[in-house]
Amino acid sequence: MSGTAAAATAVQLLGGIALAPLLPGLVQHWKARLQGRRGPTPLQPYRELRRLWGKSAVDVEGAGIVYRLAPSVAAGSIAVAVLLVPVASDAPDLGVGRDALVLAGLLALARFAVAASSWEVANGFALMGASRDLTIAVFVEAALVLALAVAALVSGTTDLVAMIAGTAGSAAWSEPALALGALAFALVVVAETGRQPVDNPDTHLELTMIHEGPLLEYAGRDLALLQWAAAARHWLVLVLAAQVFLPHATDPRVQLGLLPVLLVVLCGALALTEMLVAKMRILLAPRLLGIAALVALLGIVTWLVEAA
C-alpha cells in the first residue's frame, strides 16, 4: 500500500467515525453566528455523545428485539457505508467493495431499521416521523440513484474510486451533465442530512419533525448511536459531494489535502441555506426532490446527446 493510499484509508476511517460529529456541530455553530447568536461550540455534538454514552438505555414496555437492535443496525449499516465511501482516488478496497449503488442500499437499511422501531413503541409521533421519512425517501432514492448515474456515466463505472478519478480535473466539467448531476445531488445532501428546507434538525416540536420523530423514545447509548449515525450521514454525503460532484484535483494527495477545506465550505453552505430558507411544508418536499430527480435525468440526457 502506497503512502497516499494509507493516508486515504486513515482519513476515511478516522474522519468517518471520529470527525463526523464535527460536521453537524459546525453547521449548528455557524448557523447560530449567522443568526446573530453565539450558539453552541462546534464540539457540542461530542459533548452530547459523551453525556448520552454515560447514561443507560430505556427499554419501552412491551417493545421487543426490533426496538433494541434498531440503533445498532442503523449505526452499523452507516459504519459499513463509511467503509465503502473512499475519500481519494487511490483508496484501497476495504473488503466491502466500492460500489455507489451499494451505498444507497446501506442508507435504506438504516432508514428501515429506525422506521420499524417506531412501530414497536406505538408512539404516534414516532410513526408520523417514520412515515414522512419513508415517503420523502422514495423521491430521495430516485434522485440519489440518478445523480450517481450521471457521475457514473461520465466516469464509465459505478466504482466510487474510479468515479472520483473520472470526475477529477477540468475535462469532466466541460459538459453541463456533471453540473446538473451536482445540482440534483445538492438537494439529496439536504434531504439525507435532514436539513432545511426538507427537515429542521433544531425542532423538537412534534408536528413538524421528520428524522427526530422515531428517535423520541430512545435514550442513553441507543440515542448516542442514532445521533452518531446522523452525523456520519453528513460525512458520507458531504465527502461524495466534495470528491465527486464538486471540481477537484486529479492528484490524490491534493484531493486529500483539500478535503477538509471543501468539507468546511460545504458545512458553511448548509448553514447559510438553513438561515436563508424556511422549512417547506412536508408535502412540498417530495416535489422539490422530484425536481432534483428531473434535473439529474436532464443531466443524463445531456450526456447522451453529447456522446451521440
Partner 1 sequence: MSVAGSVLVGAAAVGAGGLLTLLHRTFVAGLALQAVGCVLLAFGGLWALVADETAGLAFTSAFDPRVGVDALSGLFLGILGAVGVAALVFATRYLEPSGKGRTIGALTGLFVLVQALVLVARDPLTFLLAWEAMTLVPAAVILVSRADEPARRSVFFYVALTHLAGAGTWVAILLLASEGAIGDPSVIASGSGVQVAIALAALVGMGAKAGVMPLHVWLPLAHPIAPAHVSALMSGVMIKIAIYGLVRVLVEWLGVLPEWLGVLVLALGALSSVAGVVYALFQHELKRLLAFHSIENIGIIVLGLGACLLLRARGADAWAAFALAAALLHTVNHALFKSLLFLGAGSFERAAGSLELDRLGGLLRRMPWTGGAFFVGAVAIAGLPPLNGFASEWTTLQSLLHVPAYGGVADGTAAAIALAALAATAALAALCFVKVVGLVLLGPARRDAVAHAEEAPGAMRAGVVALAGGCVLLGLAPGLLFGSLVGLAPWSAEAPTTVGLDLPGTGDFRSGGVALALAALVGALALVRGRRVAARAPTWACGQLVERQLDWTSAGFTKPLRLVLEDVLRPEREVAVRTEGGVVTEVAYEGRVPHHFEERLYRPVTALAMYGAHHARRVQGGRLGVYVAYLLGLVLVVLAAAKLGVLG
Within positions 222 to 251, which residues make up the interface with partner 1, using CB under 8 A?
Answer: 222, 225
The DSSP code for 175 is S
Rounded to whole angstroms, the Cα distance separating 261 from 109 reads 31
Residue 292 is a binding residue for partner 1 (CB under 8 A): no
Q: How far is the CB of 8 from partner 1 (least distance, A)?
A: 16
- Give 140 or 266: the residue with its C-beta nearer to partner 1: 140
2 — alpha (psi -120 to 50), left (phi > 0) or beta? beta
Could you say which of 34, 69, 179, 291 contacts partner 1 (CB under 8 A)? 69
CA–CA distance from 102 to each of 83, 105, 106, 198 (Å)? Answer: 12, 5, 6, 24
Could you say which of 5, 32, 145, 280 contacts partner 1 (CB under 8 A)? 145
- Give 149 or 183: the residue with its C-beta nearer to partner 1: 149
Site string for partner 1, 153-172 (x = CB under 8 A): x--xxxxxxx----------
Residue 253 is a binding residue for partner 1 (CB under 8 A): no
Residue 118 is a binding residue for partner 1 (CB under 8 A): yes
Rounded to whole angstroms, the Cα distance separating 142 from 151 reads 15
Assign 1 to helix, strand or coil: coil
- Give 30 or 228: the residue with its C-beta nearer to partner 1: 228
289 strand-pairing partners:
none
Rounded to whole angstroms, the Cα distance separating 13 from 17 reads 6
Those residues with Cβ within 8 angstroms of residue 290's Cβ, 6 or more apart along the chain or in another chain: 139, 142, 143
Which three three-digit cell numbers place residue 111? Answer: 432508514
Q: How far is the CB of 103 from partner 1 (least distance, A)?
A: 9
Residue 124 is a binding residue for partner 1 (CB under 8 A): yes
CA–CA distance from 59 to each of 187, 218, 220, 306 (Å)? Answer: 36, 8, 10, 57
Residue 68 is a binding residue for partner 1 (CB under 8 A): yes
Which residues in 34-69 are b (16+ Cβ under 10 Å) and which e? eeeeeeeebebbeebbeebeeeebeebeebeeebee
Residue 125 is a binding residue for partner 1 (CB under 8 A): yes
- Give 176 or 268: the residue with its C-beta nearer to partner 1: 176
Residue 108 is a binding residue for partner 1 (CB under 8 A): yes
Query: Applying CB under 8 A, which part among 168-176, 245-253, 256-264, 297-305 lies near partner 1?
Result: 297-305
99 strand-pairing partners:
159
- Give 26 or 188: the residue with its C-beta nearer to partner 1: 188
Residue 269 is a binding residue for partner 1 (CB under 8 A): no
Residue 268: φ, ψ to 5°: -60, -40
- Give 34 or 102: the residue with its C-beta nearer to partner 1: 102
Residue 288 is a binding residue for partner 1 (CB under 8 A): no
Q: How far is the CB of 167 from partner 1 (least distance, A)?
A: 14
Site string for partner 1, 74-103 (x = CB under 8 A): -xxx-xx--x---------x-xxxxxxxx-
Q: How far is the CB of 278 from partner 1 (least distance, A)?
A: 20
